A and B are shown apart, each in its own frame.
Chain A
Amino acid sequence: MNTLNDKYLNNMKQINQTQFLQKILSFLFRRSLEGYLCFLLIIITFSACTDADRFYQKLDRQPEILNNYNSVYIVGDTLTIQGRLNPENNLEIRIGGVKAEILSVTVIDISENSPYTIESAKVLITEEMGIGEDRPVSVTSAGIIISTQSIEIVGNGDIGILPHQLQLQKVVNIPSGSTPIYCRSGNGHVYLMNNKTYAVSRVTPDGNIEQVFSLSACKDADGTPFDVTQVNAMGVDPKEQYLYMSLYTKAPWATYWSYYRFCRWNMQNNSFEVLNKTPYHIYRSQRTPEAAQPFEGRVAEAKIYKITAIYPDSEGNIYCSLMGHFLTKLNTDGNYSYLFNFTQNQSAKPTTEDAFVPLINNPETGEYYSTVWIHQFFPGNKINYGINYMDLKTQKAYTRVNNGSSLRVTDMTTLIQTGEYTQNYLDMYAGDVPYVTASLKNFNGAFVSSHTADPLPVDGKLVGLYFMEQATVESALLKNFYKAYELPALCEINLGNHTVRRYAPRKLVMNGYNMTKVVDQFLNIDEDGMLYLTANTQQVIVKTTTYNNENE
């Protein structure tokens, strides 16, 4: 088997040097002075050839590396380095500054029909090389050190932040026609609203259900009960003192005013309070810009119409989504203001009540103003995208960009986008290996996919369920392949230090429950870090509990 060096030497041998030199010398030495000079020059010339030879030898001794190895390895993996390694010259491979154990060195053909060969060395990845990104790789041969592409080493992906493996366990079946409402109490409580009666029940982690609110409690400040046509949104504050709600009362027959009320029910002392009552005239001509104002100010005085999501925080602030067009804030001082003006979904056509309330009449056209006009007329910091979920504790808002290609983070204090993170996902059909505990760059669980539930923001991090597709793939071949990787996995995403870690050891045991794409959602967490979520297309509330391995 020829090497590059052998081929070079063979070529040189094809020149008949002896005959050539004999002719030259016989001519030169007929005259002494000229011959001497020529001889000197030829010596110099051939000396240069010798130098070239030595240089080629030096090049041959220098290792060269093919940049064809992976960028990520798990502890225990084998990394194969190929190239001109010259293993006979004290080959040493160092990763993360640590001398790697060389398992084998073989000589292989560059390609099927090529006469040239390269060496292929296999080394073992160990924890001593350092867990993390940018672990340097160097190859030393004949004392010459070559630094090559660094790698990321991920640790044991089966270890989790929590000490025990988790499983899903049923808390309660969700009664037909009921929907979970927003509550981040941190004690595992879940609140359900009946979509017909609008009664609200509290579900405790042990499965007890207790009704905490019914519409019969609704009374104006003067004690007059009022009817509710529709509940637009509800939300419970983290201390579980108040149930906030946006209520709509349609104008009774022969009256002109409908009413939107923003209210709260004190679940501790069973008192009802109307924070804001905004009238809405049934005639278009009366729905003027003036009637829609003031937009901001004391909560009782501002005009507050249809709220479609309510997010109370632990400090007493209430964040409200106005039909996805605006995000407003009622602070602890009782001031109501517009934070964001989301300009991504505008239309130049007259607005309908499905799109936004209040409708505002344009006297010039006799039609309602467009949402373009609404967004220009209403306050709020304009950003040309929406928000999908928020972490009120750390004041971060998250947006899935382009249906999940990346995750955008917006700071809710400065109202400025502060980051955007592109997701990585594995290709099952290419046999990609899942990296569960890894850098954010190499975590391939598709952390912003619109096909999985949004993660639960917890103390500035995001906890979610990933690799469901690999865990539930129907193909027997793929199922068998991914079985070795303990999937699906609960993971904690830390955008601050760009890392992802498995939340609990090994896979999440689903026990037959299925977290349906898009529909099911994370609801709450408790003091032990157990998660509460809906499953089976919002038919059941489940929670994570410690899984006893002996059951296997």
Chain B
Amino acid sequence: MNKSYYPFVGLMAGVALFFTACVEDLNPVLPADGNIAYVNFVNAAEAILYGQNDTLQRYNNLYINDSINNPPFDNYNDRAWYPFEFPESTIDIRQCPRHFTGVSAITVGGNADVYWLPLEGGDYRFIYTSKNKTYLYTAEESLKKSTYQMLYLVESPETDSSYTVVNVPIERKERVEERVIVQLVNLSPDAGVVEVYRVDANGNEMATATINTLTFGQYASTEFSTEGTKNSYNSILLRFRTPGGNDLQSIAVPANNGAVYTLLLRGFINQTKRSVQKDNETMTTVTVLPNLRCSLRRVFY
């Protein structure tokens, strides 16, 4: 090739590259190639709130996989909080993450709204401890791609000292107009089997209402029509009861069109003695007062 062509060819190649760069599509790259599961951790245990200040009462922590700080779950030069801290015991929903941003100074939405921690799909160990690292419970969970799940740490009814994590998956669907989806969860260790029914503005049971029978750790989703809710404080009025028996708790779920809620029945129905780890070697006994209650969490929309 004649050397005088070289500058020309070089220039042409450069221009071609320039235009190639301009027309090339940019593909968004997701972390872990999109193999992401979304988790919301809730410390719904009751007995540890009765501990003394130096035991499990305050600021329970959550480690992921290893209770020693290792990358990526380290402090990143103090720019992130790890281990995850559950908020103090006065807050009804002790969840983490509890912020969109991870910065505790910025809180968006209510305490009961659900925030998600994205984690790469796979097998995990979730280690719950006190602030001074008394080991409380370790849960092993397998997280699958594109799933959403809420993990509730609660007292297990099996023994007076055991805990369990109730894994409540929730499917992210398209918004359903003129409907409210309520996911009902029974987290009460001693309430037994419960039913849920809907009442009208006069407190009368509605014939069309769906009743779900739930034992401890069970959950079910139900769609409720928002029709006619103007007469009932713009709410869907729900009651928990023993099967065909006494009412246990009631709640008004806002009839926000298309919203998805999780409704928890939680706490103890009876006064209960529970053993709590005072430290990693010794146990202490606490008396849990009856505190059966409902908590409502807005999940989507």
Contacts and interface: CB of A to CB of B under 8 A. Distances in A.
Contact of B271 (A30, A348, A384): A348
B140 interface: no
B7 A27 contact: yes
A441 B53 CA distance: 37
A382 B249 contact: yes
Contacts of A89: none
A384 B289 contact: no
B76 interface: no
B132 interface: no
A372 B252 contact: no
B162 interface: no
A348 B292 contact: no
Contact of B290 (A343, A381, A417): A343
B237 interface: yes
A347 B8 CA distance: 93
Interface string B236-276: 01010000000111111000000000000000001100000
Contacts, number: 71
A375 B12 CA distance: 88
Interface in A405-439: 411, 413-419
A382 B268 CA distance: 13
A376 interface: yes
A31 B6 CA distance: 13
Contacts of A37: 12
A540 interface: no
A372 B233 contact: no
B11 A38 contact: yes
Contacts of A419: 233, 252
Contacts of A413: 201-203
A31 B9 CA distance: 13
B287 interface: yes
A414 B250 contact: yes
Contacts of A34: 5, 8
A384 B293 CA distance: 7
A41 interface: yes
Contacts of B239: 416
Contacts of B291: 343, 384
- Choose among B7, B12, B250 the residue with the greatest number of A CB atoms under 10 Å from its CB: B250
A375 B8 contact: no
Nearest to B199: A414
A415 B249 CA distance: 10
A187 interface: no
Contact of A45 (B18, B235, B250, B252): B18
Contacts of B252: 411, 416-419
Given A27-B7, A38-B12, A416 B290 contact: no
B4 to A, nearest CB: 8
A373 B292 CA distance: 14
Given A31-B8, A413-B203, A45 B15 contact: yes
Nearest to A414: B203
B205 to A, nearest CB: 11
A45 B15 CA distance: 8
Interface in A331-360: 343, 346-348
Nearest to B235: A418
Main secondary structure of the interface of B (DSSP, over half): mixed
Contacts of A347: 289
A54 to B, nearest CB: 17
A398 B214 CA distance: 32
Contact of B289 (A372, A382, A411, A414): A372
B250 A416 contact: yes
A300 B129 CA distance: 57
Contacts of A376: 270-271, 290
Interface string A361-381: 000000000101101100001
Contacts of B199: 414, 416
A372 B290 contact: yes
A382 B292 contact: yes
Given A41-B15, A45-B18, A413-B201, A348 B287 contact: yes
A41 B11 CA distance: 10
B237 A381 contact: no
A347 B252 CA distance: 28
A542 B262 CA distance: 50
B256 to A, nearest CB: 14
Contacts of A415: 203, 250
Interface string B205-236: 00000000000000000000000000011010
B160 to A, nearest CB: 16
B241 to A, nearest CB: 11
A372 B15 CA distance: 83
Given A346-B290, A348-B271, A372-B290, A416 B251 contact: yes
30 contacts: A30-B4, A31-B8, A34-B5, A38-B15, A343-B290, A343-B291, A348-B271, A348-B287, A372-B271, A372-B290, A373-B271, A375-B290, A376-B270, A376-B271, A376-B290, A381-B250, A382-B249, A382-B292, A411-B252, A414-B201, A414-B232, A414-B237, A414-B250, A415-B250, A416-B199, A416-B203, A416-B235, A416-B251, A418-B233, A418-B235
Interface of A: 27-28, 30-31, 34, 37-38, 41, 45, 343, 346-348, 370, 372-373, 375-376, 381-384, 411, 413-419
Smallest CB-CB A-B distances: 5 pairs: A418-B233, A414-B203, A416-B250, A418-B252, A372-B271
Given A343-B291, A417-B252, 20 more contacts: A28-B8, A31-B4, A34-B5, A38-B8, A38-B15, A343-B290, A346-B289, A348-B271, A348-B287, A372-B289, A373-B271, A384-B291, A384-B293, A413-B202, A414-B203, A414-B232, A415-B250, A416-B199, A418-B233, A419-B233
